[in-house]
Amino acid sequence: MSISHDLARTPSPVLIIGTGLLGASIGLALMQRGVEVLLSDISPSALALAADYGAGRALADGDQPVLVVVAVPPEIAADAVAEQLRRWPDAVVTDVTSVKAQIVRALIDEGADLDRYLGSHPMAGRERGGPISARADLFRGQPWVIAEHKHVTAHALETVERLALDVEAVPVHLDPVQHDRAVALISHVPQVVATLLAGRLVDGTPSQISLAGQGLRDTTRIAASDPGLWLQILAANSDEVTSVLRALRDDLDAMIHDLEDVDRAGARREITELFIAGNTGVRRIPGKHGTDAEFSTTIVFVDDRPGELARLFAEIGEIGINIEDLRLEHSPKAEFGLAEVSVLPERVEELTRALKERGWRLSR
């Protein structure tokens, strides 16, 4: 559906450098707002594909962007930003890479015009990259960090804020160091942990691996990410990542020490305290729409045949209850799956009763 240009806050035209997942998704979202989007990529095929999907058109001679969005891999981001600042002396330039402080330091060393540069980072993504995976709604309701520094002008700040709002993201203001410290904790180290855990599975026998359930899938899902990209990210944020990993190592050492002599006085208490700390940390993770609301869960047995899951969703809709969260579990050899349906606590009894009346098998 096309959205009226009158609703766009972002000025036209916007040039996007790099037509991967983020660049193409930004293009799609802005095009829906009626913003003119120009595209540039070192890969002609990626550029053509992004244009075919409707993310914008190829940059042409005579184009004069007022905003440039650099969406390239971390190891070349600083050079790309510097190049765009030189090429478009009247344009605001932002980037959407996942590490911010290193870019600012590199631009200062180069003597770049920092008045017009403001780094940003949309906290959204998918396991698969490239323009084929791009979505106009990728950023909807997600944080978009705006990494302010002391040199940036009010005009540049306002321009990047408008960009975030036009793709329906939620602007969050942090300085570059605060940003890098935050993503080390909530993104980069979790990636390392998932990768190392999944790496242990290499030594497992087929019979051992066949017992894996949803818990292991949940904790290792992001281990399927691109190794080359993550090498760049970790190298660019190595100081902050190392700091969190050292603290994690201390916790692992404590757990190992206690398990090696679990009958030692205090060992069970210390293990319990580590689990309690984990419980506390999980509760701090924001839920749907960034809220801290707790939901009640009903587990529904869903037969493994076409249309059953769709029927469950349709009937919950007919009951008039909103699904706040959903988790699916299905073992390869089982003839049914489990749908963990989370709803507001005051609606869970109504949902349970109505589903039973409609013939669904439940486990609470």
Give dist(CA 351, CA 197) in Å, integer. Answer: 37
Give dist(CA 290, CA 58) in Å, integer. Answer: 36
- Express each pLDDT in 45-59 by its tens digit: 999 999 999 999 999
CATH tag for 7-174 (out of 3.30.565.10, 1.10.10.10, 3.40.50.720, 2.40.128.130): 3.40.50.720
> What single string gives the DSSP state of each residue in 126-171?
-SS-SGGG--TTTTTT-EEEEE--TT--HHHHHHHHHHHHHTT-EE
> What single string gives the DSSP state of each residue in 80-128?
HHHHHHHH-TTSEEEE--S--HHHHHHHHHHT--GGGB-EEEE----SS
**pLDDT for residue 1 is more than 50:** no
For residues 203-230, average pLDDT: 91
Residue ranges of domains in the chain: 7-174, 181-284, 290-363
- The pLDDT assigned to 5 comes to 46
**Nearest to residue 81, comparing CAs of 169, 149, 144?**
149
Q: What is the mean pLDDT of the chain?
A: 91
- The pLDDT assigned to 293 comes to 58
How far from 340 is each of 193, 296, 301, 319, 326, CA to CA, in Å? 26, 10, 9, 17, 6
Protein fold of 181-284: 6-phosphogluconate dehydrogenase C-terminal fold (1.10.3660)
Note the pTM of the prediction, 2 decimals.
0.79
**Nearest to residue 188, comparing CAs of 219, 228, 231, 147?**
231
- Express each pLDDT in 80-115 by its tens digit: 999 999 999 999 999 999 999 999 999 999 999 999
- Express each pLDDT in 310-355 by its tens digit: 999 999 999 998 988 888 877 666 678 888 898 888 989 899 999 9
* Helix then strand then coil, % of the chain, to nearest 5: 50, 15, 30
List of residues 6+ apart from 252 with CB closer than 8 A? none
- Assess whether the region 7-174 and the region 290-363 belong to the same CATH fold: no
Find the angle CA(171)-CA(113)-CA(76) to the nearest 5 degrees.
Answer: 70
Centre a 10 Å sphere on the Cβ of residue 360 and count the other Cβ atoms it contains.
Answer: 19
Buried b (16+ CB within 10 A) or exposed e, 218-238: eebebbebeeeebebbbebbe
Decide if domain 290-363 falls under CATH 3.30.70.260: yes
